Structure 1
């Protein structure tokens, strides 16, 4: 019984309700609760100081999981890998399976339908909210699939193969359903009877939502090559994973992936220009890199030379037209590094060129260049919002690079020690941890609605849970929070969402990072012996001292692409 947007004086009756159940009963007076500029209205609420009901033990007890190993003094990354997968189970929407491991979650969104009436039950809630955004969800699926395929031994050693397969299938099944018509693809769903903004302001359990979710889809001829291609890449990636395990399912995903990809090639443009509801949440800034990502996964799955030619074409076009993207990080808006990694495997003759972006970006991180800095405790820092996702993503890329060049022992050591140091800091080596329920001194108040509310339906879940100063009553194990400021300041409060929120894409690279560390033979003791206890070894992006012309540096590629675009020379053509 909450309403986060209206003025209390407006609610003398239910005539002004913004969504079903939004009004206070006549017997209860509206009370405004406010902190850090975020206003939330609660019926009959009390002051935040009186709302503490959860015990600090929720965070303290979790410190026993995945702690530092005695031998070698490193953390148990296989354990952390398993916890990270559990995070995705806590994010599930739909009818939960019989083996559900999250006792405080129940079935939700069972009436969700596409505009044509087809069922779109399932998927994941995006972050600590009750929305499903397809773009980051698809990015998550393809990134998780990449880590599973490349670090299979780590998943097997940690006993996480079945859990990861179930996670990939859960995500792929919903993306497959989101392709509910030959020319349509769901872009976002949100709370019944609200706007997307109102849905984000609402504080409650997924299980308490009534009625089908609101849906916005991308329908031809709307532009949205990025969304369509990201979906195609995700389904093609999972199709690779299941190619031998379940050929029929693999083919079903491949068929949908090819359909999405074909529409993507005919829909040049940004999906956030066509779908206003996603702007400000998951705005997109490029799309040719997404076409390259999808085409590369399809080439891997199909082993088709023509499909590989298209992948190379879009990869080159991305540099020529979009200039290589933001150029300092890997995320859903910057797909150059993982695409180059796969292309390097598919075409060894251009391996050095395709893998060069990973080395160029790693050099920026290791040398603290391009406004990348380090906190006093040694955490890499690039952004105030969800910084640790970028750190984990880049560490994942560095660990992957070692698989391309196992003979480059010095480079592999430098990249691995960067990843190990950042992982140790995330898990609380310097005091504060940043993975919920895992490692030393983990955060216990992540910005997450379901985790903040008592599991019993009889207990109201509203803004009182948001402002509760105690730990969340439910621990969302394995969730990576945004992290501290560049001065190592971290406030473990729900309303500090830049630091304390969790999200699907934030854990995607983190999962790959943990898998890579769990299977990596370069130990923390070796990092210390090599003088890299701070995780920042020095190594050139060039594979040899002189460098090679084939591996043109990222900086020069950006410069030449910008000049070409300015001169009107870089005009995209279809392959």
Structure 2
């Protein structure tokens, strides 16, 4: 009986506008709203009274550190219930970057406060996890235990061990990325809540010092993370954190350290991607913005020229970097190229490219890949909580194996996406196509905000002409 209901909600979110090219005028503001709803659906801990996702309640209220520290809050990583600090932090940095760059888009969409809340939800959690200057919890929950359970986070009944890094067991990548995230969030809150901005910045500074003074990869002490979110290097995170701290403080020592690390870790080579494990394209972009030095400007131009002209693409034009998170990868490189366009390099070319990638995801490919948006959107994301019927109905593995749409609509989630030939299966059990994660939505949401921002600029221009 879900089909008629689904069809009714699917239609209004795409407005067809008779343009000369028969293009679709996608409702970016609605997409921003939905993406933020996806982040709300991923919240762990005690939910606020203004929680908009009615089928979610308080969960994992007993999350504790090894000495009983309160580790409640934060976001569940994906369709399951582990909290991975590394990807949560890189997600937060990217969301904050998009928010800083395209604040007006959030305001015009009526999503400014929801955007702030989404960032504060993770920043609050990182501050709890940073229990002393050289000690940071980086994971709560055990993946193997977690995967024996399919159901609601509100009904979790397994033990949830917590894993940390410290001076004896360092993780420069995890501490560096968390420092970057908190520095970026401090910039967002600088005018809204200066006291909170100061708190974020204080933790960001300490975490960067910790990352710098005690070198190592976080998946050595936090073994389980390597299986899912391996980190192969920490030079990019150290440089990234220093660059964000310079942006947040204007203190020259941070820029000096960023530039020193950029040379030391040989980050000037052209990357092929930008995601939680490979930050180089983001580092180059941030340094280009902060310094306008030719070296960094050329680096980002090389990256985007390669991406637009030579990177492998599907027959329908989607950049194809990896079969896991195909759309997330494409959205991330699109966001970087939007930033490159903003500093005046090949602006029109790169913006057209970004539009082509985001529009592929919103429906130009023949279907939408954003749950609850547009035509023929995914109805079976690989996501335990949304597969569960309304309480008091029980939920379990039968709901995983059940054919048909998830009982709840996981609004705004960007699924992993199609294969290299644009083939896609809307099937809960096919996680390669239908997985959803915090990091898939981050660059996507920020790129959509950028397109909405450009649309607003275009409207302003038109208004002044008339």
Question: TM-score normalised by the shorter chain: which range applies?
Answer: over 0.9
CA contact (8 A) 1:69 1:76 kept: no
Shift of the 99–483 alpha-carbon distance from structure 1 to 2, 3 Å rule, reads same
Residue equivalent to 2:462 = none
Question: Any unmatched runs of 5+ in structure 2?
Answer: 459-466
Shift of 1:212: 6.1
Query: For 1:79, which of 30, 55, 78 is the aligned residue?
Result: 30
Q: CA shift at 1:302, angstroms?
A: 1.3
Tell me if 1:338 matches 2:282: yes
**Contact 1:114 1:180 (C-alpha < 8 Å) held by counterparts:** no
8 Å Cα contact 2:150-2:397 kept in structure 1: yes
Contact persistence 2:217–2:231 (CA under 8 A): yes
Q: State the distance in 2 between where 1:307 and 1:363 align.
A: 29
Q: Distance in 1 between matches of 2:446 and 2:419?
A: 24
Structure 1 distance, partners of 2:135, 2:158, is 22
Query: d(CA) in 1 for partners of 2:457 and 2:51?
Result: 35
TM-score by length of 1: 0.76
- 4+ residue stretches of structure 1 with deviation over 3 A? 521-524
Contact 2:35 2:441 in 1 (8 A): yes
Equivalent in the alignment of 1:50: none
Counterpart for residue 42 of structure 2? 91
Correspondences of 1:386-535 after superposition (within 5 Å): 386-405=325-344, 408=345, 411-456=346-391, 458-521=392-455
Q: Deviation per CA, 1:68-99: give whole Å up to 9, x if none.
A: 34264321112111111111001000111111
CA change 1:293–1:125 in 2 (3 A) is same
Pairing partner for 2:202 from 245, 248, 255:
255
Instruction: Check the 8 A contact 1:58/1:472 in 2, yes or no.
Output: no
Q: Once the two structures are superposed, what CA deviation does each residue of 1:349-376 show, in whole Å capped at 9, x if it has no partner?
A: x1x322333322222222234xx2x222
Residue 58 of structure 1 deviates from its aligned partner by: 5.3
Q: Distance in 2 between matches of 1:264 and 1:287?
A: 9
Secondary structure, counterpart of 1:230 in structure 2: helix
Q: Give the Å deviation of 1:324.
A: 4.4
CA displacement at 1:386 relative to structure 2: 1.2
Residues 1:376 and 2:318 are matched in the alignment: no
Between structures 1 and 2, the one with greater helix share:
2
Alpha-carbon shift at residue 152 of structure 1 (Å): 1.2
Q: Output the CA distance in 2 between the equivalents of 1:66 and 1:272.
A: 42
Taking the aligned partners of 1:204 and 1:451, their CA distance within structure 2 comes to 9
CA distance in 1, matches of 2:5, 2:318: 26
TM-score, normalised on structure 2? 0.93
CA RMSD of aligned residues (A): 1.9
CA distance in 1, matches of 2:378, 2:440: 16
Q: Deviations over 1:491-535 (max 9, x none)?
A: 1111110110000000000011101111125999xxxxxxxxxxx
The equivalent of 1:199 in structure 2 is 146
Alignment of 1:308-387 (within 5 A): 308-319=255-266, 324=269, 327-348=271-292, 350=293, 352-369=294-311, 372=312, 374-387=313-326
Q: Post-superposition shift, 1:377?
A: 2.3
Of 77, 80, 83, the residue aligned with 1:126 is 77
Which of 251, 272, 277 is equivalent to 2:224?
Answer: 277
- Name which of 154, 175, 182 aligns with 1:235: 182
What SS class does the counterpart of residue 319 from structure 1 fall into?
coil
Take 2:18 and 2:116, find their aligned partners in 1: how far apart are those partners?
Answer: 31
